[in-house]
Amino acid sequence: MARSSFYVTTPIYYVNAAPHLGHAYTTIAADVLARHHRQRGDDVFFLTGTDEHGEPVKLAAEREGVTPGELADRNYERFQALAPQLGASNDFFVRTSDPRHVAKVQEVLTRVKDNGHAYEGVYEGWYCPRCADFKTDREIAEGNTCPIHKIPLTREHEHNWFFRLSAFAEPLERLFAERPDFVQPRVRYNEALSFIQGGLQDVSLTRRGLDWGVPVPWDPGQVFYVWWDALLNYYTALSFAHEGEDLTERFWPASYQLVGKDILKFHTIYWPALLMAADLPVPDHVFVHGFLLMDGEKMSKSLGNVLDPFAVIDRFGSDALRYYLMRDVSFGQDGSVSAGAFEERYERELANDYGNLASRTLAMVGRYRDGRAPDVPHDPALDADFEDLATRVAELLDRAEVTQALEEIWVRVRRLNRYVEERAPWKLAKDEAAAGELDVVLASLAEGLRVLTVLLQPWLPATSAKLLAALGTPDDALQAAQLGARRIGVVAPIEPLFPKQPTEPAAA
Ligand code: ME8
C-alpha cells in the first residue's frame, strides 16, 4: 500500500516577544500528530517557524531601540530552540525573513493580482497594530478597542492594493458546505461560517509607508500586508525546506493546520480565499484550539516560574509538560492551567499510574523470573480492553482529538493497574502451584505495558524510548501496538520514570 502523506503545521510565532506556554501548547499538539503519523508509516512533514514582518515586530523593535531585523534575529533563535526542548520533531523551521520565502510570496501574490483579485483603493477603518488586523464592525470592543489586546484601535486611512475577499464569500460557503470537517471543532466551523454569512469586506493586500515586509513587485514603496506574507509560509516553505528538492507536490495541501482561536478569521477565511485566488488547493483541515488560561491573580512569581515552559522542562522533563498540557486542556476548548494541577497530574498519573506500573512490572519480572518475561500467551481477560485500542486511537487522532486519544490510552493504564491488584503476583509467587498463573500474569503485564508505551510515544517520546529499550522491544510502529505483536525477552530494570520531586521553596 502506498504511504499516505501527512503535513502538519503550527502558526508561525511573532518574534516580538519570547516564547511562552501558549506557543508550546500548539507545537506539542502538532508534534503528537506528526509522531503518530510516523508511527503509522506515513510520509510526514511537520513545519513550525517565526513570523518576522509587519507592525507587531516593527513596534516591538522600536520599543527596544533595535531594528526589526535585529529583534527578529535575536528572538527567532529562542523559538527555534523551543521546539527541540519540547521534544518536538519538526522537519523544518521557517522564517518569513528568508529570501526564498520572500521571493515565493511575491510570485504567488503577483499571480493573485494577475488573476484579477487585486485592485487599488483607499482603506478607511479601524486597525489593531498588535493583531495587525483590520477590524470589521463586529470585531470591535467598547470604546473602539481591540477585544484581544484591550488597546485602543487606530483609525487608518491608506491608499493600498486590496484583495477582493468579498468575491470569495460564495466559494467559501461552498467549501464549508462540501467539507464539513474543513474547520474543526464544529463550534469553530460554525463561527467561521457565520462570519462569512455576515458579509465579507475586501481586505488590504498591501500597506503603504511600512518598510518592514515583503516588497510589492509591481508597486515599489509598498509591502504586502503581513498576514498574506505570514499565511503563505505554509506553502512556500515546502519549496526550500530540503536543499535541492521541492516538496510542494509531495505535501501540499496540508493535512492539518493547527491554530489558536485568536487567529481563526485569518486561517478559516482569508487563507482559503487566498489559496483559491492563487489557484492552489486549500488544506484538508484547520483545527482551531482554545486558550490556556492563567488566572492573573494566581500568577505569583513562583507559579509563573513553574509554568514557564523552560522551567517546567528543566525540573520535570519535556514529557511531563507535554502530557500535562495535552491532558489537562481538552484540545479544542479553553482550559485553566496551574502549577497545582500540573503537580497533581504529575504525581497521580505520571508517577503513580504509569511510572509505578512500569517499575513494578520490570521489578517483578526481575525478582520472580530472573529478568526474563515468561514466553507464554497473554491473559485473554485483557483482550476486551486492548483489542481495538490502536485503531480507536488512530481514529481519534484522524480528527486531531489529542486529549481524547490520550484518555483512551490512560483508561488502559488504569486497567493494567487494576489487573496487578486483582492478580496480586506477589501472592502467586509464594505458591509453587501457581507458577503457571504467575507466568501468565507477568507476561500480560509486560506485554500490556509495552503496547501502552508504543501508543503513548507521541505524547511521551523520551519516556517511551527509555521504557521500550528496557523491555528489549524498541519497535514503536503502530503495528506493534497489539497484545502479542512482539516478543519480550530479557528486561532491564529502570530508574523511576517520573521521580518524586522535592517541593520547591516558594520563589522570593
Ligand atoms: O498570531 N493558549 O503569532 P503569535 C493557547 N504570527 N495557545 C496560545 C496562547 C494561549 N494562551 N497564546 C498563544 C501570531 N498561543 C501570528 C500567526 S500564522 C500564519 C501567523 C498560540 O506569536 C496559538 O497557536 O501571537 C496562537 O494562535 C498562536 O500561539 C499565536 O502566536
> For residue range 181-236, what is the model confidence (pLDDT) as tens digits?
999 999 999 999 999 999 999 999 999 988 899 999 999 999 999 999 999 999 99
Ligand 1 pocket member 148 (CB < 6 A): no
Ligand 1 pocket member 23 (CB < 6 A): yes
Ligand 1 pocket member 47 (CB < 6 A): no
Bridge pairing between strands 256-260 and 285-289: parallel
From 159, 242, 301, 427, active-site residue? 301
d(CA 259, CA 263): 7
Cell 477585544 belongs to residue:
147
Tens digit of each residue's pLDDT (9 = 90 or more) over 387-444:
999 999 999 999 999 999 999 999 999 999 999 999 999 999 999 999 999 999 999 9
Tens digit of each residue's pLDDT (9 = 90 or more) over 438-472:
999 999 999 999 999 999 999 999 999 999 999 99
What is this structure's pTM?
Answer: 0.95
d(CA 392, CA 405): 8
Residue 131 falls in the annotated catalytic set: yes
| Mean pLDDT of the region 91-108 | 98
Contact 20, 321 (CB under 8 A): no
pLDDT over 80 at 270, yes or no: yes
Of all atoms in ligand 1, which is nearest to the CA of residue 10?
A: 24
d(CA 495, CA 102): 49
Residue to mutate, 26, 80, 149, ligand 1, most ligand atoms under 8 Å from C-beta: 26
What share of the chain in percent tops pLDDT 70? 96
Q: What is the mean pLDDT of the chain?
A: 93
pLDDT value, residue 504: 57
Tens digit of each residue's pLDDT (9 = 90 or more) over 291-327:
999 864 323 333 443 478 888 999 999 999 999 999 9
pLDDT value, residue 310: 87
Residue to mutate, 262, 294, 321, ligand 1, most ligand atoms under 8 Å from C-beta: 262
| Closest C-alpha among 92, 86, 90, 98 to residue 15 | 98
Would you call 27 exposed, middle or buried from its count of C-beta atoms within 10 A (0-12, 13-18, 19+)?
buried
Q: Chain-centre distance of CA 242, in angstroms?
A: 22
- Among 98-102, 139-143, 276-280, which is the least confidently predicted range? 139-143
Ligand 1 center from residue 227 Cα (angstroms): 13
Of all atoms in ligand 1, which is nearest to the CA of residue 258?
A: 24
pLDDT value, residue 502: 67
- Would the CA dihedral through 454, 456, 460, 466 be positive or negative? negative
| Mean pLDDT of the region 472-488 | 97
Residue 285 falls in the annotated catalytic set: no
